[in-house]
Structure 1
């Protein structure tokens, strides 16, 4: 899989989640996925290096994990071949959504509140998501190299389209509710229309009906037609 194919595969997911309200900019999410995996989709669908941690089950992670060797930086010194347990997911989207749950913690408040992708990359490192001191720099380089900012714009546009569609549906709903109210009134009129009173009186006199009230518009119209035709 080429780097371009990798980006094409995950970008729509990152864009959709952002449009739905994810705190992570698509450009940051894609860059992080490239950095953490080298641009390959691993069989356990964890593209962001999310470790098992406390192990609490979530709606998107059911406890499955894989043990892999990685590297960390401790006290300024890189240590290779460090064993770590990473979360395993049924899908890439589950992995991203589970990560969003992680970012709801107060520890990642600055990540959520970042006003732009570059600041968010800085805050990921500052919040302790990774131990590599060059983590934010690497993310920014990937975002710039592959023009990932365009996916941030796509997310904004998609959210705008959804909001416009929602507004249209709301307007349609209001119109249908108004129409329904009109129909209900037509089906259960509490007063006899002026134009139908004579026909109703004739219908009562001829014992065609017992009570003239609570008829529908069509009911009164039918009585009027019967009167005009001399039936009542």
Structure 2
């Protein structure tokens, strides 16, 4: 008699990953796998947090720095407002123009001329006046050149602001009416353009720079 061999079927093992099987076996918690999983989650969170710290704060720090700079400049401008308004009442020079020119000409009180010699407007000295010779840039024949020029020295900020107002009122030795259009200007835009046209500065973008400062810091609200 020929005996038939019994075929034994092999059970197919499931290839699908089971989350429950990963953590539980035979009703018991698989501690090793659980610990590894927790460590993996913690590491993943740490990597995500580090990435966030390395990327997002760049924009935030830049924004914060700009905010701080804006507030510092506003505080400095506000310290000049009372006297600028007094000069406007006395001589008709718009306070916004006085403030914007002080900011632009002194590089926001960062120049050597303003910090050491209280000259906030780049006013040149006449023969016999107290002065200091410093390098300055002039736009001559379409090109920026550096020259040495004598600048007036003042004892304080108010002395510089007053002299600026008197310059606009009295003009220069060769033309006493030189800045009349600045004084007659009904608004800061007209006054800024009149300053450039009268030759206060050689920079072709001078008027627009003044206007930008006035509008950015809302200086025209101080005009009366």
Aligned equivalent of 1:182: none
In the comparison of the two structures, how many residue pairs are matched? Answer: 144
Q: 2 CA distance for matches of 1:33 and 1:9? A: 12
Aligned equivalent of 1:78: 144
- The alignment status of 1:44 with 2:117, answered yes or no, reads yes
Cα shift at 1:23: 2.5
Paired residue secondary structure (1:39): coil
- 1:86-125 to 2 correspondences below 5 Å: 86-103=151-168, 104=170, 105-125=176-196
Match among 58, 81, 102 for residue 33 of structure 1: 102
Q: 2 CA distance for matches of 1:14 and 1:101? A: 13
State the superposition RMSD in angstroms.
1.6
Comparing 108-117 and 118-127, the one that deviates more = 108-117
Query: For the Cα contact (< 8 Å) 2:87–2:165, is it kept in 1?
Result: no
Q: Which has the larger radius of gyration?
A: 2
TM-score, structure 2 as length reference? 0.60
- 1:1-232 to 2 correspondences below 5 Å: 2-19=72-89, 21-40=90-109, 41-52=114-125, 54-55=126-127, 63-79=129-145, 81-103=146-168, 104=170, 105-152=176-223, 156=224
Query: For the Cα contact (< 8 Å) 2:118–2:153, is it kept in 1?
Result: yes
Aligned equivalent of 2:54: none
Q: 2 CA distance for matches of 1:124 and 1:8? A: 23
Q: Which runs of 5+ in 1 are unaligned?
A: 57-62, 157-232
What per-residue deviation string (whole Å, max 9, x for no partner) do you get for residues 88-146 of structure 1? Answer: 11121111222222222211121121111110100100000100000000000000011
Q: 1 CA distance for matches of 2:209 and 2:135? A: 21
Cα shift at 1:85: 1.1
Paired residue secondary structure (1:18): helix
